[in-house]
Chain A
């Protein structure tokens, strides 16, 4: 567009129309600038100079990466496996519950007086971060991995139910009608008409959430909900740079491997 306005052959009409466009642009960009200035001090952005004056601390971390300590490696690996195990159960429970919740929050499957309440409940599950749920569940079931599983489970149910219902709303209704015409029950319509259509998408969504949950699970330990996050938090607090570096390396490699495997699986189901 901008290139066009600067073109020599432009008529005054084009220039005039561009005025309203640029007025709109000024409004958008000006609004963004105001937003950034307004948030500057509350976000303590004025401390940016510390990035350089206190860069020594960062350098120490960085040098820790150059000399990571592998003395406790098998302990870290055990914690990492535990973290993945937390993600496995959190995701599995969420997938199971997202099937009914996803169908009940689809406009083409349930009446509005069911869809709306279920959707609002899923909104709430989704709006609250895993860490917040983890804190709540630590209070309810005590410190440890189970609180982490529950936190992932509730939050992921909110996310997956929404994704599942979007897939259900996009199905071809005609095969479902064909099954209804044989005298099948509503549940049978879903089993034979809806699920086969959405299954590849559902599997793909579930695998993607498993990837995300492995990532999320690495920080659940910060609030005492089990996994490698707890070890990480302790070593950061204790200024054990070499150990912290080792933990970060373990996390990066694990998350990468999980992502690669899950991507491969997703490509297979779609």
Chain B
């Protein structure tokens, strides 16, 4: 049973064709990168899978664990129940900045505890311990009672992952989770995502701007261009040369000139990509 299957999904925003009949299938426990230049449809696709956006009428379906969250441009009636299975992490963290971190994490329980108890904020001691444990696991346990707004970007992002853990999500959709973070925080967030994928068997789909992170953390990459899937396969196949072939000029946007991560030798060996960029061979 695939964790996610997308079948002929199309979306127009006004006159712009943001998704063009996208098909894909992602197995349970996979960690998949979604790459593409800005405007290629990564976020749009993720928001459709999460049921936060509705596709065009007459287009296909997005399914999570074989249950449609939307079909033919309409949200499923049990979309709320399905969202419980899905944790979503956003570029801008989407925590409620005035609430303590632990309350932001407890929000992850809302779909699973009785509605009246969740609405009144009556969480049990066990539930609070669960939230505290999740925060400790992602490395921000000591910040539990601080206001979310006092945390750094990377800490907020990891708190958002803790929320998904508490939610017991089986699928984690991360929409550009590291785009506004410095390299060190970005690595910690990606490490955390990889850990929950490996240890908890949570399926992770992460959209990324930089292909280096995809190559390092995700065995499989799906590449989008102008709302179409242009590549779906092993991340190792995504050489810089191949990226240039896929995206032409726009590929520069996908490659960090000061790539901190993988195989620096290979990056340097392909000066075509780096033409005009700041880094020259040492």
Contact = CB atoms under 8 A, between A and B. Distances in A.
A183 B80 contact: yes
A174 interface: yes
B110 interface: yes
B94 A182 contact: no
Nearest to B173: A181
A181 B121 contact: no
Interface stretch (B83-91, B186-194, B197-205, B231-239): B83-91
Interface in A174-188: 174-175, 177-185, 187-188
Given A182-B87, A185-B115, A185-B119, A192 B98 contact: no
Nearest to B94: A178
Interface residues of A, number: 19
Contacts of B195: none
Nearest to A183: B111
B5 to A, nearest CB: 19
B52 interface: yes
Contacts of A177: 52, 90, 94
Given A184-B110, A184-B111, A192-B110, A174 B90 contact: yes
Nearest to A173: B94
B110 A185 contact: yes
Nearest to B148: A175
B87 A181 contact: yes
Interface string A181-218: 11111011001110011010000000000000000000
B119 A187 contact: yes
Contact of A185 (B52, B80, B108): B80
A179 B50 CA distance: 12
Nearest to B163: A182
A177 B118 CA distance: 17
B230 interface: no
Most chain A CB within a 10 A radius of its CB, from B81, B98, B167: B98
B98 A181 contact: no
Contacts of B87: 181-182
A179 B96 contact: yes
B99 interface: yes
A144 to B, nearest CB: 37
Given A175-B95, A178-B90, A188-B119, A183 B167 contact: yes
B98 A188 contact: no
B134 interface: no
Nearest to A191: B119
A179 B87 CA distance: 10
A185 B83 CA distance: 11
A174 B84 contact: no
Contacts of B97: 175
Interface residues of B toward A: which range?
Answer: 20 to 34
Interface string A34-65: 00000000000000000000000000000000
Given A184-B110, A191-B119, A174 B99 contact: no
Given A192-B107, A193-B96, A181 B115 contact: no
Given A178-B160, A188-B115, A188-B119, A183 B98 contact: no
Contact of A182 (B92, B93, B107): B107
Given A187-B119, A188-B110, A191-B121, A181 B52 contact: yes
A185 B110 CA distance: 8
B96 A175 contact: yes
A23 B99 CA distance: 56
A196 B99 contact: yes
B81 to A, nearest CB: 7
Contacts of A185: 80, 110, 115, 118-119
Given A182-B107, A183-B110, A184-B111, A192 B96 contact: yes
A184 B119 CA distance: 9
Given A177-B52, A196-B98, A182 B84 contact: yes
Nearest to A186: B80
Nearest to A179: B107
Interface in B39-94: 50, 52, 80-84, 86-88, 90, 92-94
Given A174-B92, A175-B94, A182 B118 contact: no
Given A175-B95, A182-B83, A192-B107, 14 more contacts: A178-B93, A178-B160, A181-B87, A182-B167, A183-B81, A183-B82, A184-B107, A184-B110, A184-B118, A185-B80, A185-B119, A192-B96, A193-B96, A197-B96
Interface of A: 174-175, 177-185, 187-188, 191-193, 196-197, 199
25 contacts: A174-B94, A175-B95, A177-B90, A178-B95, A178-B96, A178-B163, A179-B96, A179-B107, A179-B110, A180-B83, A181-B50, A181-B83, A182-B83, A182-B84, A182-B111, A183-B110, A183-B112, A184-B80, A184-B111, A185-B110, A188-B118, A191-B121, A192-B107, A196-B96, A196-B99
8 A-B pairs with the lowest CB-CB distances in the bound complex, closest first: A183-B111, A178-B94, A183-B84, A181-B88, A184-B110, A183-B83, A175-B96, A196-B98
